[in-house]
C-alpha cells in the first residue's frame, strides 16, 4: 500500500538555500549591465582603486612641483626621488600581506574599512610636510615616510576589495565585477591629471603674472588633498557593509537539520554535503539540536563561527568557508596542484608590474618623446605640459583598455585575455625599444597608446582578477595579498632601478628588459586554469570529499587486516 503524500515544509536551511539560488539566478541581461546592488558595491569597493591610481601616479607631477619649491627648479636628488616614488609601493607590500591574512583569519567585515582609515590618516599627514622649516632633503624623507603609511592602506585595499567583491558576486558576473572595480585605477589616474590642470589654471595668475613660483607649494597640497573627498565619502559604507548573501548562507547552513528537505534545486556543493550534515546532526542530542535551531532562527552570530570545526568530520560547506589559519594555508599550498597556481599568480603580477610601473612611474621619458616633458618655458608652463601629457596618455590607453576587458572577460575568459595582453604588450615594447630614436612623434604616441591599451586589456586587469577567482574562500584574501605583494615588489624594483639603469645602458635596453618580462609572463600564465564560471569552493569541496573517501577506504583496509 502506498504511503499517503504529505506536504513538505522547508526547513530554515532550505530557505537560506532558496535565497542563495535567487541570488545566483540569471536575470537575462549581459554581464556588464549592473543592477543597483552591484552599482553600490562598485562605488564602495572601487574607490580604493581610484585612490590607488590617484595617489600612486600623482607623485609624478608632485615631484616636479617639489623641484621648484625645494631645489629652485633643479632635479631632486636621485636616491630621494626614488624613495619618494617607491614609498607607496613599499608600504603596499606590507599592507597586502597584513590585510590579506587578517581578512581570512578574522573575517572580511571585521577588517574592511580599516585600510581606508589608514589612507585618510596618511594623506592628512602627507599634507603637513613642513617645506618652510625643514631642509629640502628632510622634507623628501618626511614625505616618503608617510607615503609608506599611505601605501599600507592602499595595499590593504587589494585583497580586501577583491575578496569582498568575489564573495558577493554572481559567479557568471564575477570577472566583470572585479574588472569594473579595478578599472577605477584608470579613472584615478585620469582625474589626477585633470585635477592638476584645473588647480594650475587657478594659480596661473599668481605663478605667471606675479612670478610667485613658491605658490606651487599650495598646488601640490590641494591636488593631494582632493583624494580625501571620495575617501571620506565611502568610509561609513565600508565600515557598515554587511556580509554577502553567499557567505552568510554557507555559514548558517552548518547547524541545521536537513532531514525534511526535499525538492530543493540547489547548488551541487550543497547537495553533496546533505548526507554528511544529516549524520552530524543525528549525533547531536535532541535538546542540543533544538537549541541550535533556535539560535539560528534568532540570528545568533556565534552560529557562524567556523574557527574550531573538526577537519575530519565537519560538513564540507563549513570547511570551504571556514576561517583559515596560517598552518592550514601552508599545508594547502604545499601541494603542487595548488602551489603552482599561487606561483602563477605571483610571477605574472610581478613580471607585469616590472614593466607597467617601470613605464608609468617614469613617464617623463615618454613625455619627452611626445613633447610634453615640460623641458622649456616658465615653471607654470612646464608643470601644465607635464599634466596635459599625463592626461593624454591616460585617455589614449588606460581607460579604453579597462573597458575592453569589462565587455569581453566573460566571453573570452581570463587566460586568453592575459596571454594575448602580455604578447601584444611585448610586441609594442619591442617596436618602441628597436625604434626608440627614429620613431616620429605621431608613431611613438600610437605605439605607446597601444602598449597601454594591451596592458589594461590584458594582464593589468586579469592579474587582479585571477587570485580573487582561482582560490577558495578560506585562502582567497591571503593568496590575493601575496600575489599583489609580488606585483608591488616588481614595481619597487622598477621605481628604484629605472633611472639609474637608463642612464647607464640607455632607455631602449630597459624597454627590451620589459619586453622579456612580458614574454615570461605569458608563459607563467600557462600554470593557471581558466576560471570563467569556475567555483573554487566546489573544487575544494570535491578535493575534501575525495580525501575523506580515500581515508575511509584506508581505514577499512586496516580493519579487515
Show the domains of the chain with their CATH numbers.
42-243+330-540 (1.20.1250.20)
CA-closest candidate to residue 477, choices 119, 185, 95 = 95
CA-closest candidate to residue 487, choices 514, 465, 460 = 460
pLDDT digits (tens, 9 = 90+) for 184-233: 888 888 888 889 999 999 988 888 877 778 888 889 999 999 999 989 98
CA-closest candidate to residue 67, choices 341, 288, 382, 477 = 382
Q: What percent of the chain has pLDDT over 90?
A: 26
> When comparing pLDDT for 232 and 267, which is higher?
232
pLDDT over 70 at 243, yes or no? no
| Residue 293 · residue 255 · CB < 8 Å | yes
Q: For residues 349-358, b (16+ Cβ closer than 10 Å) or e, as one string? A: bbbbbbbbbb
3-state class of 435 per DSSP?
Answer: coil
Rounded to an integer, the average pLDDT of 440-450 is: 84
Q: pLDDT class for 499, splitting at 50, 70, 90?
A: low
CA-closest candidate to residue 33, choices 162, 170, 164, 168 = 170
Predicted local distance difference test score (pLDDT) of residue 276? 39
Q: pLDDT class for 363, splitting at 50, 70, 90?
A: low
Residue 288 corresponds to which cell in the numbers above? 542540543
Predicted local distance difference test score (pLDDT) of residue 348? 96
Flag whether the pTM goes above 0.75: yes
| Residue 369 · residue 507 · CB < 8 Å | no
Q: pLDDT class for 476, splitting at 50, 70, 90?
A: confident
| Residue 345 · residue 470 · CB < 8 Å | yes
Residue 234: burial class (beta carbons within 10 Å; 0-12, 13-18, 19+): buried
- Between CA 288 and CA 279 the distance in angstroms is 15
Q: What is the DSSP string of 223-242?
A: HHHTTHHHHHHHHHHHHTPP
pLDDT digits (tens, 9 = 90+) for 93-146: 999 989 988 888 777 788 888 999 999 999 999 999 988 888 989 999 999 999
| Residue 162 · residue 111 · CB < 8 Å | no
Residue 430 corresponds to which cell in the numbers above? 619591442
3-state class of 4 per DSSP?
Answer: coil
SS3 content of the chain, % helix, strand, coil (to 5): 80, 0, 20
Amino acid at each position: 500500500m502506498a504511503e499517503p503524500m504529505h506536504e513538505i515544509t522547508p526547513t530554515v536551511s532550505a530557505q537560506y538555500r532558496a535565497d542563495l539560488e535567487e541570488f545566483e539566478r540569471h536575470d537575462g541581461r549581459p554581464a556588464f549591465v549592473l543592477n543597483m546592488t552591484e552599482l553600490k558595491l562598485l562605488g564602495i569597493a572601487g574607490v580604493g582603486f581610484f585612490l590607488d591610481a590617484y595617489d600612486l601616479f600623482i607623485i609624478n607631477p608632485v615631484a616636479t612641483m617639489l623641484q621648484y619649491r625645494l631645489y629652485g627648479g633643479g632635479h631632486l636628488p636621485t636616491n630621494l626621488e626614488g624613495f619618494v616614488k617607491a614609498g607607496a609601493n613599499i608600504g603596499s607590500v606590507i599592507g597586502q600581506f597584513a590585510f590579506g591574512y587578517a581578512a581570512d583569519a578574522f573575517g572580511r567585515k571585521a577588517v574592511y574599512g580599516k585600510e581606508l582609515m589608514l589612507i585618510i590618516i596618511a594623506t592628512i599627514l602627507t599634507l603637513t610636510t613642513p617645506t618652510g622649516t625643514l631642509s629640502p632633503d628632510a622634507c623628501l624623507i618626511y614625505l616618503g615616510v608617510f607615503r609608506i603609511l599611505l601605501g599600507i592602506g592602499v595595499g590593504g585595499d587589494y585583497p580586501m576589495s577583491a575578496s569582498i567583491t568575489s564573495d558577493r558576486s554572481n559567479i557568471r558576473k564575477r570577472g566583470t565585477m572585479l574588472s569594473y572595480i579595478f578599472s577605477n585605477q584608470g579613472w584615478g589616474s585620469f582625474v589626477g591629471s585633470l585635477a592638476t590642470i584645473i588647480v594650475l589654471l587657478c594659480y596661473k595668475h599668481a605663478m605667471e603674472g606675479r612670478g610667485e613660483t613658491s605658490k606651487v607649494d599650495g598646488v601640490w597640497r590641494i591636488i593631494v588633498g582632493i583624494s580625501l573627498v571620495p575617501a571620506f565619502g565611502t568610509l561609513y559604507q565600508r565600515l557598515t557593509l554587511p556580509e554577502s548573501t553567499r557567505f552568510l548562507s554557507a555559514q548558517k547552513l552548518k547547524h541545521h537539520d536537513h532531514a525534511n528537505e526535499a525538492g530543493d534545486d540547489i547548488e551541487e556543493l550543497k547537495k553533496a554535503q546533505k548526507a554528511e550534515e544529516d549524520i552530524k546532526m543525528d549525533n547531536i542530542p535532541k535538546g542540543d539540536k533544538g537549541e541550535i535551531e533556535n539560535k539560528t532562527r534568532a540570528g545568533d552570530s556565534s552560529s557562524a563561527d567556523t574557527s574550531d570545526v573538526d577537519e575530519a568530520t565537519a560538513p564540507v560547506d563549513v570547511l570551504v568557508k571556514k576561517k583559515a589559519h596560517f598552518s592550514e594555508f601552508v599545508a594547502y599550498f604545499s601541494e603542487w596542484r595548488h602551489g603552482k597556481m599561487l606561483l602563477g599568480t605571483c610571477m605574472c603580477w610581478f613580471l607585469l608590474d616590472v614593466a607597467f610601473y617601470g613605464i608609468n612611474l617614469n613617464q617623463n621619458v615618454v613625455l619627452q618623446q611626445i613633447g610634453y616633458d615640460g623641458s622649456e618655458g616658465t615653471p607654470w608652463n612646464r608643470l601644465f605640459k607635464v599634466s596635459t601629457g599625463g592626461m593624454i596618455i591616460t585617455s589614449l590607453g588606460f581607460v579604453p583598455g579597462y573597458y575592453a576587458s569589462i565587455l569581453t572577460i566573460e566571453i573570452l575568459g581570463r587566460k586568453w585575455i592575459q596571454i594575448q595582453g602580455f604578447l601584444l604588450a611585448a610586441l609594442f615594447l619591442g617596436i618602441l625599444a628597436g625604434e626608440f630614436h627614429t620613431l616620429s612623434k605621431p608613431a611613438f604616441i600610437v605605439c605607446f597608446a597601444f602598449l597601454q591599451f594591451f596592458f589594461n586589456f590584458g594582464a593589468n586587469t586579469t592579474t587582479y582578477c585571477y587570485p580573487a577567482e582561482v582560490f577558495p574562500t578560506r585562502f582567497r584574501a591571503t593568496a590575493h595579498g601575496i600575489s599583489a605583494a609580488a606585483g608591488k615588489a616588481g614595481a619597487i624594483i622598477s621605481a628604484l632601478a629605472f633611472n639609474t639603469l637608463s642612464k647607464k645602458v640607455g632607455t631602449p635596453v630597459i624597454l627590451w628588459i620589459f619586453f622579456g618580462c612580458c614574454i615570461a609572463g605569458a608563459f607563467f600564465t600557462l600554470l593557471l586554469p581558466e576560471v570563467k564560471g569556475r567555483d573554487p569552493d566546489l573544487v575544494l569541496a570535491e578535493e575534501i570529499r575525495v580525501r575523506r573517501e580515500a581515508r575511509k577506504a584506508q581505514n577499512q583496509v586496516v580493519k579487515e587486516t
